[in-house]
Structure 1
Amino acid sequence: MTEGNYTELVRECYDEVKQKIEETSNPEISFHNWEHTENVFLAITEIASNTKDITGEQIELLQIASLFHDITSCIDHKDHEIKSAELAATFLHKKNIAEDKIEFIKKLILATKLSHKPENVYEGIIKDADLNHLKKGNYIYKPFIDLYKEISNWKELTPKKWIEECIVFFDENKYYTEYAIENYNPGKEKNKTRLIELSKMNIESLDKLVEETTKFKKKPTKKKTNKSKPDKGVETMFRIELRNHVTLSRIADDKANTLISVNAIIISIVLSTLFPKLDNNPYLTLPAIFLVTSSITTIIISIISTIPRTTHGILSREDVIKRRGNIVFFGNFHKMNLDDFEWSIDELLNDKDYLYKTLTRDLYYLGKVLNKKYSYLRTGYITFVAGLLVSIIIFMIKIFANYNYIVQMQ
């Protein structure tokens, strides 16, 4: 779990639930384990984030409910929703969470009962998240088999009967949110078709069931064109353009450094040489002050152009899955843990489109940074030249005026 995308309370609940489930893990509970809980947690985050009018606070409560909803499954599967809700309440009371929020979370957990029909959008979200495995590509050879093994521990169940029950379950349970209907239903229907295919087979044992469902697993094939390795010509283009942008950035920094150095010298000379003579030559006061002011302004603008800008420093796995963000920019990963970073890089290298999109983003934002640098530099140079010219003009006017004054006095 990455730090930057969840509240402190959600992170504490995540750690608490993970530890509790792992401590009470039971080999017979092959489905309702930590893997399932984490999948529901990720799914509820995905669905809630894509549902209209759901606030950040409501997403937080939904996430907490998803974490606790099956926490007691490993101990006792009977009425585990009630026990899980009570356990969640106990933990949240210790965290001094408001009573109305705790009650809201408890209702969400109780809404995950199979017999419960959602009464509002929040219950619909957690129901959809809890059943997100129905749409997964690996459903038929992973969740389907794991659930069969788990339920067989307390219920006499033949493979054929299990297949029939699952088909009925698919028919009786639907998705409620617009997001799940649009994005989860296609996968769910595909898995239902697979179940119907299985129902036509003569499967009498678990081994046979595993054998037949494994056939649905996709065989490793060569990556499609859009997942293939990058073309050399494209690599060369990105390499040259990125190098050019970095070079331009370095040139901008050098120019800023030059402006800072030159104006610092001017200020030093004016302060040490000209200012001590102002008592006897008051006509030099205005050009001296104007020159120092313009030099100080130029230095400030030049420094602003070189100020480093950092970002939040973290990309979540959800961001990578949805192909958002730029994982190759240090500002986006300097706070990520190593496992998430390595996983993200693997995803990047295995997807040509994502790789190109990331490099394109990198090039684009480098250009944005360069534009800011050169805009400030342009302003700095204009300020420097204008200040120098105006100071010289004022200086000449003052000398001429002082000369006329001396002539008149004579």
Structure 2
Amino acid sequence: MDLNNRKAYPEVCHRILEDLSKKLPEHLTYHCLEHTIDVANGCNFYIDHYMISEPIANLIRIAAVAHDYGYIIGPKDHEERSILEVRPMLTEYSENELSLIDGMIRATKVPQKPQNLYEQILADADLDYLGREDYPELSEGLYREFLYFGVVQNESDWLNVQVGFLENHRFNTDWAKLNRSERKGQTLNRLKAKVNTLQQSKKAS
């Protein structure tokens, strides 16, 4: 596993990651272990950037590695399933701390509605790829996953879903707004161009 600052993560995080590595279905080509690690690394960056200290920093790290744990069972309501399945591993944490973790996991549910900085961090780390250079390869994994679950039927469906999603998505933290929004806009423009090309091709045929 490639976790930045691995020693900073509490032991429960490594247990959760180990579970994910063993139990996530192979058809999850986007919501896979690599995605969870990517989100965890993103959250660790935000922790440093916003100088968030313990114990909150560890709660953010736990929420990051746990936010898609429910996919072990299935995609439906996976945020709530993640909360339920991970709770038994968090017996050393107080109800207040658990409530903060729950809120951060719920903040990743689309459409995202984070209520505080910590939830904003989880939300932005979860969708950070929308404003990065590796969007094409990561979105290809999500496309294959959507095909598997029947969310889309073909590339045309997929492109329309992605255009709508990117048009409605907004980053939350000041850092992401400044450093991810421009490239996300460029990606959106490229997707719209592809939609137009497909439409023109259909008309021509």
Superposition TM-score, scaled by structure 2 size: 0.88
Structure 1 residues 5 and 184: alpha-carbon distance in aligned structure 2, compared to 1, 3 A threshold: farther
Aligned letter for 2:148? N
> Residue 82 of structure 1 is aligned with which of 80, 83, 99?
80
Residue 169 of structure 1: aligned partner: 165
Q: Deviations for 1:232-287, whole angstroms, at most 9, x for unmatched residues?
A: xxxxxxxxxxxxxxxxxxxxxxxxxxxxxxxxxxxxxxxxxxxxxxxxxxxxxxxx
2:83 is aligned with what amino acid?
Answer: A
Q: Deviations over 1:87-128 (max 9, x none)?
A: 2221111xx222211121011111111034111111111110
Choose which of 185, 193, 199 in structure 2 pairs with 1:189. Answer: 185
The residue that corresponds to 1:130 in the other structure is 126
Q: CA deviation at 1:79?
A: 0.4
Distance, in Å, in 1 between the alignment partners of 2:130 and 2:7 is: 26
Q: 1:3 to 1:176 in 2, by over 3 A?
A: closer
2:57 partner amino acid: I
- Please name the residue that 2:23 is paired with: 24
Alpha-carbon separation, structure 2, partners of 1:191 and 1:13: 36
1:59 matched to 2:64: no
Q: Contact conserved, 1:32 with 1:74, CA < 8 A, in 2?
A: no
Which stretches of structure 1, 4 residues or longer, exceed 3 Å deviation after superposition? 1-5
Cα distance between partner residues in 1 of 2:80 and 2:45 = 25
**Which residue pairs with 1:42 in the alignment?**
41
**Preserved contact between residue 64 and residue 105 of structure 1 (Cα < 8 Å):** yes
**Contact 1:81/1:110 (8 A) holds in 2:** yes
Instruction: Let me know the Cα RMSD of the aligned residues.
Output: 1.9
Q: Percent identity?
A: 24
- The answer on whether the counterparts of 1:88 and 1:106 sit within 8 Å (CA) in structure 2 is no
The alignment covers a number of residue pairs equal to 196
Cα pair distance change 1:48/1:2, threshold 3 Å: closer
Which moves more between the two structures, 67-76 or 153-162?
153-162
Amino acid at match of 1:192: L
Note closer, same or farther for the CA distance 1:85–1:119 as it changes in structure 2 (3 Å cut): same
Deviations 1:16-44 (A, max 9, x none): 12211121132211000000000000111
Consecutive unaligned residues in structure 2, runs of 5 or more = 200-205
1:25 and 1:55 mapped to 2: Cα distance?
A: 31
Structure 1 residues without counterparts, runs of 5 or longer: 204-410
Q: How does 1:98-137 map to 2 (within 5 A)?
A: 98-137=94-133
Contact 2:13 2:61 in 1 (8 A): no
1:152 aligns to what SS in structure 2? helix
CA, structure 1 residues 174+104, in 2 after alignment: closer, same or farther (shift >3 Å)?
same
Distance 1:63 1:27 in 2: 25
What is residue 13 of structure 1 aligned with on the other side? 12
Is the 2:132–2:183 contact (alpha carbons within 8 Å) kept by the matching residues of 1? Answer: yes
C-alpha displacement at 1:56, in angstroms?
3.2
Indicate how the Cα distance of structure 1 residues 169 and 84 shifts in structure 2: closer, same or farther if over 3 A, else same: same
Q: Distance in 1 between matches of 2:72 and 2:196?
A: 33
**More relative contact order in 1 or in 2 (CA 8 Å, sep 6+)?**
2
Answer yes or no: is 1:146 the counterpart of 2:146. no
Quick check: 1:179 aligned with 2:175? yes
CA contact (8 A) 2:37 2:65 kept: yes
1:3 is displaced (CA, Å) by 6.0
Supply the distance in 2 between the matched residues of 1:115 and 1:26 (Cα, whole angstroms): 25
Partners of 1:74 and 1:15 in 2: how far apart? 16
Larger Rg: 1 or 2? 1
Within 1, Cα distance between the matches of 2:7 and 2:193? Answer: 41
Q: Residues 110-169 of structure 1: CA distance to partner in whole angstroms, max 9, x if unpaired?
A: 1111034111111111110110111121212x1111111101112242211111111111
1:4–1:126 Cα change, 3 Å:
closer
SS at 1:191's partner residue? helix
Q: How far off is 1:176 after superposition?
A: 0.7
Question: Which residue number corresponds to residue 203 of structure 2?
Answer: none
Contact 1:21-1:34 within 8 A present in 2 as well: yes
Distance in 1 separating the partners of 2:191 and 2:89: 40
User: TM-score scaled to structure 1, two decimals?
Assistant: 0.45
User: 5 Å matches for 1:11-410?
Assistant: 11-51=10-50, 54-93=52-91, 96-140=92-136, 142-155=137-150, 156-202=152-198
- Give the whole-Å Cα distance in 2 for the aligned partners of 1:85 and 1:74: 12
